[in-house]
Amino acid sequence: MRLTLKHQVILAPTVVLLLMGGLLGFLQYNYWDLSLKRQESKNLGTVFISLAEAELTIQRMHSLVMRLRGDHLADTRCLAEMDGLIYRLEGATGRIVELLPLPDRSRALIRQSVSDLDPEYGFDVERINGAIAMLRPELSTLSSIVQAKREKLRNVHRQDIDELVEHTAFVSIVVLGTAIGFGLLLSLSLGRSLLGRIKKLSDSAGRIAGGDLTPPKAPAHVRDELDELALSINSMTDRLIRVVGTEKLLEGAEDERRRIAMDIHDQTLSDLASVLRDVQALKGEESVQPKVHQLEDDLQRAIANLREVMDNLHPQTLDILGLGPALESHLEGHLAKDELPEYHLYISPKIETAGLSKSVQLALYRIAVEAIHNVIRHAKASRYEINLDRREDCLLLSVEDNGTGFDTETVAISGHRGLYNIRERATAIGATVQWGSSRFTTGTRFELILPLPSKETA
C-alpha cells in the first residue's frame, strides 16, 4: 500500500486520536445511560411528591366535605378553599399521569375521580365521597409502587456509579496505555525508517557534491515522495556524469588544441622561418632569383596559413585580451570581406565584470563562432547581428540573421553536427540555448542564456 510522506508522518497521531475518540465515545455512552437513569429517578421523585400532595389534598377535601355535610348553609370560604384544593389536585394528578407509565384503567380512574371532585359540577356530597373513596386506594397503590421503584433505582444507581467509575478507570487506563504505546512504537518505526532513508539520500547527495558521482540505487517501486526524490537524484546524477564527462572531454580537447598550437608555434613556425631566411639569403644570386621569389611567396603563405590554424586551434587573443576582443578579432580577420554578409557586433562593457572563467570564455567563443559560421554557410543572409550582453543575473549571447531560416527540430533529427556541438558546449557550462524567429522579416535568432553566480550580481 502506498502512503505519501505526509500521511506517514501523521499516521501515528491519527491512530492515537482515533483510540482517544473511541474512549471518549465509550465514556459518553456510559454517562448518557447514567443520565437517563438519573432522569428516571428525578421523575419518580417528582411523582412521589405529587402523590403525597394529592393524598394531603384529598384528606383536606374530605375534611371540608364532612364539615359542609352537617351544615346546610354552605360556607363561602369552604367553597373557595375547595376550588383551590381541586386546582392543586389537578396539578398533582396531571404530573403523575404525565411522568408515570400507567395502565389505561388507572389513567381513566384518576381523571374520572378528579372530575367528580370538581365543585363546578355541583356540590354533591355522595358523589364527592365516592370519588375520594375510589381515588385514595389508587393513589396509595401507586405510592407503594413508586416507593419500591425509587428504592430499587437508588440501589441500582449506586451500583451503576461504582461500576461506571471502575469500568471507566480501567478502560481509560487500557486505552491510554495502548494509544501511547502503539503511537510510540508506530512513531519510532516510521521515524526510524524515514530518517534512515533521508540519511541515505543525504549521504548520496554529500558524496555527489564531494565529487563522487556514484548514483544512489533507484527504488524498484515509487511509494512516496522520498522514493521520487531518490529517483530524481539518480536521474540527475546520471545527467551530471554525462555533463562532467562532456566537460572533461571538451577541456581535454582544448588542452590538446593548445598544445598543438604551441608545438606549431615553437617548432614548425621556427623551422619555416629559418627556411625563409635561407631563401631570402639566396636573393643575391641572379640565376635562382625567380625561383627564390616563388619559394618566398609560398613560405609566407604557408606561415600565414599555419598562424590561422593556430588561431583556430586556440585563439591567443582570448587568453590575452578576453572574450569580446577575441570575437571582434575573429570577425575582422576572417569575415570582414565584401563577398560575405554584412555584420554588426555589440559587446556590452558589463561583460568585463561578469567574472567569467577561462573555460567559460572559451566555450562561449566556440559557440559564438559556430553560430556565426552556420549563418555564413547555411542561412543565405545578407546581414546578421551578434550581441553579447549582461542582464542582471545572466549573460545573453545572440546571433540573428535575415536569411532563409530553418526548422531546428528537423535539423536536430538529421544529426547536424554544428547544432549538437553548440548544445553540448552550452550544457557543459550550465547554459541554455534556443533557436527562434528573427526580428528581421525572415531568418533565425540563436540565443544563449548563461546564469551568473549571485555574488557576481550583488
Nearest to 373 by CA among 401, 395, 393, 354: 401
C-alpha 207/C-alpha 194 separation (Å) is 20
Question: What confidence score (pLDDT) does residue 414 get?
Answer: 52
- Mean pLDDT, all residues of the chain: 76
Q: Is 142 exposed, middle or buried (0-12, 13-18, 19+ CB in 10 A)?
A: buried
Query: For 405-440, what is each residue's pLDDT tens digit?
Result: 877 666 554 556 778 888 888 988 889 999 999 988
Judge whether 175 and 199 are in contact, CB under 8 Å: no
pLDDT of 458 above 50: no
Number of H helices and E strands in the chain, helices first, is 13, 5
Q: DSSP label at 334?
A: I
- Chain-centre distance for alpha carbon 138: 76
175 vs 156, residue with greater confidence = 175
Query: For 162-193, what is each residue's pLDDT tens digit?
Result: 666 677 777 777 777 777 777 777 777 777 77
Report DSSP letters for 188-249, one per residue.
HHHHHHHHHHHHHHHHHHHHHHTT---PPPPPSS--SHHHHHHHHHHHHHHHHHHHHHHHHH
> At 170, which amino acid appears?
F
Nearest to 46 by CA among 193, 150, 200: 150
Secondary structure of 127-165 in HEC code, one letter for each residue = HHHHHHHHHHHHHHHHHHHHHHHHHHHHHHHHHHHHHHH
User: What's the N-to-C CA distance of the chain in angstroms?
Assistant: 49
Here the cell at position 53 is: 400532595
Q: Domains in the chain and their CATH numbers?
A: 5-188 (1.20.120), 320-458 (3.30.565.10)
Nearest to 429 by CA among 369, 351, 361: 361
Question: What confidence score (pLDDT) does residue 241 get?
Answer: 66
Query: For 120-133, what is each residue's pLDDT tens digit?
Result: 776 677 787 888 88
Dihedral sign computed on CA atoms, order 55, 57, 61, 67: positive
C-alpha 113/C-alpha 59 separation (Å) is 14
SS3 assignment, position 362: helix
Question: What confidence score (pLDDT) does residue 263 get?
Answer: 58
Q: State the CB neighbour count (10 A cutoff) for residue 269.
A: 16
Helix, strand and coil content of the chain, in percent to the nearest 5, comes to: 75, 10, 15
Q: State the CB neighbour count (10 A cutoff) for residue 11.
A: 16
Top mean-pLDDT range of 59-73, 247-261, 422-436: 422-436
Binning pLDDT at 50, 70 and 90, where does residue 271 land?
A: low
pTM of this prediction? Answer: 0.43
Binning pLDDT at 50, 70 and 90, where does residue 372 land?
A: very high
| 14 φψ region: left (φ > 0), alpha (ψ -120 to 50), beta (else) | alpha
β-strands 383-391, 342-347 pairing: parallel
Q: Which of 146-150, 206-210, 276-280, 403-407 has the lowest mean pLDDT?
A: 276-280
Q: Is 388 exposed, middle or buried (0-12, 13-18, 19+ CB in 10 A)?
A: buried
Mean predicted confidence (pLDDT) in 120-148: 81
